[in-house]
A and B are shown apart, each in its own frame.
Chain A
Amino acid sequence: MTVEPALAMTGIRKAFPGVRALDAVDFECLPGEVHAICGENGAGKSTLMKILGGSYRPDAGEIRLAGRAVHFTHPRQAAEAGIAIIHQELSLLPHRTVAENIFMGREIAKRGMLDKAAMRDRAAGLLARVGADVDPQTLVSSLSIAVQQLVEIAKALLLDARILVMDEPTAALDERDSRTLLNLVRILRGEGVSIVYISHRMPEVTAIADRITVLKDGRRIWTRRTGEAPVGEIVRAMVGRDLKDFYPAPPSSAPGPVLLAVEEGANAYMRDIAFEVRTGEIVGVAGLEDSGKAALAQALVGDAPLTSGTVFLRGQPLALRTPRQATAAGIGYLPGDRKGEGLALRQSVRDNALLALRAIAGLFTRPEHGRLAPDAIDEKLRAMDVRAADFGQEIGTLSGGNQQKAIIARWLAQESDVLVFVEPTRGIDIAAKAAIYETMRRFADLGRGIVVVSSDMPELIGIADRIVVMHRGRMAGTVPRGAQEEDVMHLALGTSGAPEKEESP
């Protein structure tokens, strides 16, 4: 290959406390090439892109742009060097016009005054180039997500980006808009732009990419030309991992009667949900980011209620419109955003564990008596093996694993029947993970049920007795314990059965 790569990253290493996020990763992208990066959550994709974008500095390794070594200390430097990153969450200001957004921070001035006419004209030109049929004067908030995405790309083109990183660009788009976007990617490639394309959607990746790199646990597994990388190979490379003893043994007895059931559940994020959890059972929920798996969890805890359908608990229909009703009925929630939604960080471990009991108790209940007594809750905390010097200390000072165990103690104290976990081990070290899996199993073995929503495939395979896989707001299928990750992935990606039937452009 004689062409000088537009981007060459070699030997990139990056460690965070306790995690080696990237380990000697090489990655390159030629001019006019679409190079896809595939990998599970936590594989290191976004860390690599944050290094490229100047948000993180690598511990070791080199970045060359068209042969010239660069060292970014600030995202602005990366932007000026011609690197544009389009994130999944768009960065546009909703209450500004399209033109104002495109020129944000780089306004054209004439004698110290904004030259609005010039900016409008340039913006119109850029928008035409990306195929967005919109007036530069429109407010961004009035545009669809798909068009906003195009505006974001137009903004990148303003800087004459030579390297365009697209992180899950089609995650929020429907099929038609996805196709438009992919066409634009082809056009930009034709103009010689190098495109780094990150996506979970296999049909899209194989359709658009020239080369594919698979990352896993911070290492590069391989880089191949797309023709030499069938979907099956990619998925296998993404998931292959051996962590058998890490998970608790499956239960010895079959699950009991149905504990929680959803019939014909639907809301804005999902449809046709028929779902049940039996006593003693851990049910996993898998799916891509936008598959509706998080919405299912939120519906089960009354946070984003079903708009139609019924939830039954032990055969009785249940009103489930607020989290308070869920708590009272015995459904507990461990949110994925532990610090943002799970904990009151400045309160004590004890106070956090007592949160649900106090929330449901009558207003004039005396605290520190009966079930609310410190001794009673300390017992639950010890049963969950929460390690703290003193349960009166602020919970914010505990490790993630201990915080998570304290939340479980909260629901144990409330005698919940069903726990809904979302990403139970995100950001938790290996040892604490194993402890949490053990705790989950123990909770289920007490005759209760667990729903665990996770984007960590090996975790679901290891812990769940059964995995429900969601795809685009529907339940795509259920796989039993002992299934392969590939089976789950195929359902989640919509590639099971006839591959590429659904999304071929």
Chain B
Amino acid sequence: MTTAPQASALPRRPARIALNAGLVIFVVLYAAIAFIQPNYLEPGLFMNFLRRAAPLVILACGQLYVILTGGFDLSMGAVATLVVLAASILINGDPETTWAVIGALYVMGIAVGLVNGLVVAFLKVPSIIATLGAMLSVNGLALAWSGGAARGDLPENFRNLGRLVLRDVPFVGTLPLAVIVLLGFVAIAWWGLNGTVYGKRALVVGDNPRAAELAGTPVAATRILAFVVSAVSAVTAGILLGGFSGVSVNAGEGLELQAIAACVIGGAQLLGGRGSVWSAVFGALSLFALFTLLNLLGLPQALRDSIQGAILIAAVGATVWRGRRRA
């Protein structure tokens, strides 16, 4: 209250800065990539970059929903793994069943999201614990179901979702199917947050759930829906991953943390109340560009994790520090 009267100077700026941060970081990193490997500027390689980044961007969009409402979803990597393993087991080499199985995968994912949401909203378990539990359970379930090792193979029509590249497309030359899925998912995620009242509700729930509740906001439903969206994104990403790299028991390992890091790099605020779809999209592209860059520089794969951890801490630290200076 003491700082109140003189503070009318900064209308709306934080959100815009956040958006620009993600975009700027991405452009800088991609420029660095292009400096080392000039052919990354060709449309074909850029499309390929987007194709490989697609699962992370989609996961980040889903994760963003949960982050906006003030939570975390640590179970999405496990859901992606489950999707890959379940697809190979259920399809069992019969391409006829692919579409039915994909439907079943979404049902499974939505079920996990519902459980996460119900546990957080009604049992009041902190989301970091609830989804950590879900992550362990889903991972265990997937491993047990597959017998602990990757088994079977995915049919061509399933793998095409991640692998197929359309050729001779006007303007861009080549267009991977995964990029179309990516654009579609981002569009839906954007619509959910900006085309309906849901986005604003989510922001308020993340900012102050008590005030939201007292004004009549369906807080529990808002939270649950966020976890469902997050799980749906994990299923979608899992399907693309299955297409890229085939069946593997650690297909989705660590993706949940990458998705969280992506949102934070893009300017979404951990514990809720601030962020947009663009934070997730550009944050994820930045993170993926960074991985690509490290690869080109010849750094060992393992260092990726360390750098990702350092970035996560730095990004969160910067947000907290900014917040404290304003307070």
Contacts and interface: CB of A to CB of B under 8 A. Distances in A.
A137 interface: no
B123 interface: no
Contact of A327 (B2, B8, B215, B273): B215
A326 interface: yes
Nearest to B2: A17
Q: Which secondary structure dominates chain B's binding surface?
A: loop
A343 B5 contact: no
Interface string B1-23: 11111011111101000000000
Contact of A367 (B2, B196, B274): B196
How extensive is the interface on chain B, given as a class? 35 or more
B207 interface: yes
Contacts, number: 119
A337 to B, nearest CB: 9
Max chain A C-beta neighbours (<10 A), residue from B1, B194, B196, B269: B1
Contacts of B283: none
B166 to A, nearest CB: 32
Interface in B181-237: 194-201, 203-204, 207-208, 210-218
Interface in A406-444: 410, 427
Contact of A323 (B10, B203, B207, B214): B214
Nearest to A368: B194
Given A348-B12, A351-B204, A399 B5 contact: yes
Contacts of A327: 215-216
A197 B37 CA distance: 78
Contacts of A355: 204, 211-212, 215, 217
A47 to B, nearest CB: 15
A328 interface: yes
Contact of A354 (B196, B200, B210): B200
Contact of A359 (B203, B208, B217): B217
Interface stretch (A69-77, A152-160, A164-172, A389-397): A389-397
B196 to A, nearest CB: 5
Given A362-B197, A367-B200, 14 more contacts: A324-B213, A324-B216, A335-B214, A341-B210, A343-B211, A345-B208, A346-B207, A346-B273, A355-B212, A360-B216, A389-B8, A394-B14, A397-B4, A399-B1
30 contacts: A16-B2, A303-B214, A323-B213, A323-B215, A324-B217, A326-B216, A328-B216, A335-B211, A340-B211, A341-B211, A341-B214, A342-B214, A344-B211, A344-B273, A347-B200, A355-B215, A355-B217, A358-B217, A359-B215, A363-B196, A363-B197, A366-B195, A372-B197, A388-B8, A393-B10, A394-B10, A394-B14, A397-B3, A397-B4, A399-B4
Interface of A: 16-17, 301, 303, 323-324, 326-328, 333, 335, 340-348, 351, 354-356, 358-367, 372, 388-390, 392-394, 397-400, 410, 427
